[in-house]
Amino acid sequence: MQSVLGDLLQGLLADTGWCVTKIKWEQPLGQGVVADAVVHVASGAGAATLVVEMKAHSRAGEVRKQALLLKHEAGEGEAGRPVAVAVFVHRVTVGLAGMLREAGVGYFDLFGACYLRWPGLFIERPGGKQPIVSLREGGGVEGVEAVGVFGSRAVRRHRVLRALLSYPRRRWHQVELAKEAEVSAYTAHTVVAYLLGEHYVDYEGRGPEKVVFLVRPGDLIETWATFWRDVWQRYRKGAKVYHSLARNTDEVIGGLREAAGKVGARLGLTLAAGANQYGAYLFDEVVHAYLIGDDESLAEAADLDAARRAGNVVLYGAADPGLMYLPGPVRDRLGRAGEKGCSPVSPVQLYLDMRAAGGRYAEQAERLRQEMLGYE
């Protein structure tokens, strides 16, 4: 985030009479403590030094501990200037803001939220909904823009996103991530490079020891959900609608599971049909499912009749087998419901679909996200 620090601080100091005069990167403070940046600021009334800790995430305990260490070691600035310590993160959470204020440590983020204080200046502002400075310069990371990762044609890159979001706390060697997502090492590397540039992931180590891990899973899935609306509309337009004489949705799903085994098809249950396999119990008389295979053969084997409008079975031709991805712990939890021929889509995919479907599905999506995915 070095490239935006100066512009961001200059914007926050606008109309205060203070301005940034110099930034020094990776400055040693003593006792083995190194500041990410030391920023010199000045006004007509004097000058001050701001010691900055830069983080791609906002894990409160870790950030606060490092900030306090910096505060302890910062001492007095050059030429007796007053010294303030601040944390720069992507987005300051309410919990982190409270911890830092209590510790006497400032903060600021990309959304304009800030708490900065030194003699002659005090600023405290809430953040906005949109970032006031972009993290990126130019067209993207290694030539990849957001649409190249989240867009409708990036189906193989979507596999990497599903794997990462399904294991939000796991640390990955990129080869392991590629294997889990069933993509090439290059595809995994391309996605990870983009996510690093946008600070959705961070890394530790170098060379063979390097591992990557999510730091903003909630923001990542929200960004993907925004793009997924367009993908979902394409699936809706190409959907095949059928009517089943089965008495309830359980019987419909049982018939589809049996038919899929007969004709060698694969089904991924979504919306209420998928959520109910996880115990959500959303009432819906219509079964929605992704399909890999011939829909006419499946319909004949399941005794389904084509319906022009109202039907109780909706099949979406799956553009990629990755839609059927289920992480290991989810398969174990589902048992027979996770059989390869007919299973619910993963909680990650289910969340995306329910958000895109809107209405009461979108209302349930947040609760399902907390219960199934476990991150904010």
Tokens 């870790």, residue located: 62
Q: State whether residue 350 is helix, strand or coil.
A: helix
For the segment 159-173, the average pLDDT, to the nearest whole number, is: 95
Element (H, E) at 88: strand 83-89
Q: What is the pLDDT of residue 178?
A: 95
For the segment 146-155, the average pLDDT, to the nearest whole number, is: 86
Q: What is the pLDDT of residue 104?
A: 84
Residue type, 216: R
pLDDT tens figures, 35-79: 788 898 998 878 888 888 887 666 667 777 777 777 777 766 565
Q: What is the pLDDT of residue 151?
A: 86
CA 331, distance to chain mean position in Å, is 22
For the segment 291-301, the average pLDDT, to the nearest whole number, is: 94
Q: State whether residue 127 is helix, strand or coil.
A: coil
Q: State whether residue 354 is helix, strand or coil.
A: helix
Residue 137 has pLDDT above 60, yes or no: no
Q: What is the pLDDT of residue 138?
A: 39
Q: What is the pLDDT of residue 141?
A: 39
Domain ranges of the chain: 2-125, 146-215, 231-373
Helix (DSSP H) and strand (DSSP E) numbers for the chain: 14, 15
pLDDT tens figures, 80-102: 678 888 888 878 887 788 888 88
**Under CATH, what is the fold of the domain 2-125?**
Trna Endonuclease; Chain: A, domain 1 (3.40.1350)
**Strand bridging mode 342-344 / 266-270:** parallel
Q: What is the pLDDT of residue 352?
A: 95
CA 179, distance to chain mean position in Å, is 21
Q: What percent of the chain has pLDDT over 90?
A: 37
Residue 284 has pLDDT above 60, yes or no: yes
How is residue 52 written in tokens?
């900055």
Element (H, E) at 27: strand 19-30
Q: What is the pLDDT of residue 270?
A: 96
pLDDT tens figures, 308-327: 777 899 999 998 999 999 99
With beta carbons less than 8 A apart as the criterion, state whether 253 and 313 touch: no
Q: What CA–CA distance (Å, rounded) separates 292 from 289?
A: 10
Global pTM value? 0.65
Name the least confident of 128-142, 249-263, 355-369: 128-142
- Helix 94-102 with 60-74: angle, nearest 10 deg: 30
Residue 22 has pLDDT above 50, yes or no: yes
**Under CATH, what is the fold of the domain 146-215?**
Arc Repressor Mutant, subunit A (1.10.10)
